[in-house]
Amino acid sequence: MEDLTNAVANIEEETVLNLVKQKLDANVDPYEILEALRKGMAEVGNQSGEGNYFLTDLIMAGEIFSEAMEILMPKLTKPGGEGKGKIVIGTVKGDIHNIGKDIAITFMKAEGYDVVDLGVDVPAQKFIDAINENNPQVVGMSGLLTLSIEPMKEAIDAIKSANLRDKVKVIIGGERTDQSVCEHVGADAWVNDAVEGVKIIKGWIG
């Protein structure tokens, strides 16, 4: 699967899409294909962190990933899996990075969860409105930057002030998150790996 991972990492749209189709036609496990895509996107993130890729590159990589998932998703979604639970997720205010969030959404949808994507640069009130409108069991907050930590805390504090905190579990994710950040912002759990995030959510709502 290294060829697919490298194609994603090099932001080669046509090659990525062709490889996904070829591997599905060859009856390769779709979850192996998804993992190869995830690794490629992780490398895109690494290259961005090292200053080799810029915002336009990240946007293009995200678009390629979305196109690949349109092909892959029908093979991933488990029959009868719909209705397991509802999750609201967004990248917090001040952060416009969506790659990690979108990968997490893909894994959650593949497991049969109903996911409400709030997008990026999401203010606290938008999380509150989404909880009131959708009645989710879980709220996910994503952020790539260190500057995202305080907006996560502000959003969770706002959810608590709106008397909604006891109705939802909150999970945060991103490269700068760890246990100390989790405790600081008042979340229930933290991850920097989408697969681990799904495991945690399964433990909460099945």
Which residue type sits at 1? M
The single-letter DSSP state of residue 156 is H
Strand partners, 110: none
DSSP strand E in the chain: where? 86-91, 114-117, 138-142, 169-173, 189-191
DSSP tag of 188: S
Q: List the catalytic residues.
A: 95, 97, 148
Nearest to 112 by CA among 139, 136, 79, 90: 79
- How buried is residue 19: exposed, middle or buried, by Cβ count under 10 Å (0-12/13-18/19+)? buried
Residue 37 CB coordination number (10 Å): 25
Q: What is the 3-state secondary structure (H, E, C) of 169-187?
A: EEEEECCCCCHHHHHHHCC
d(CA 189, CA 151): 16
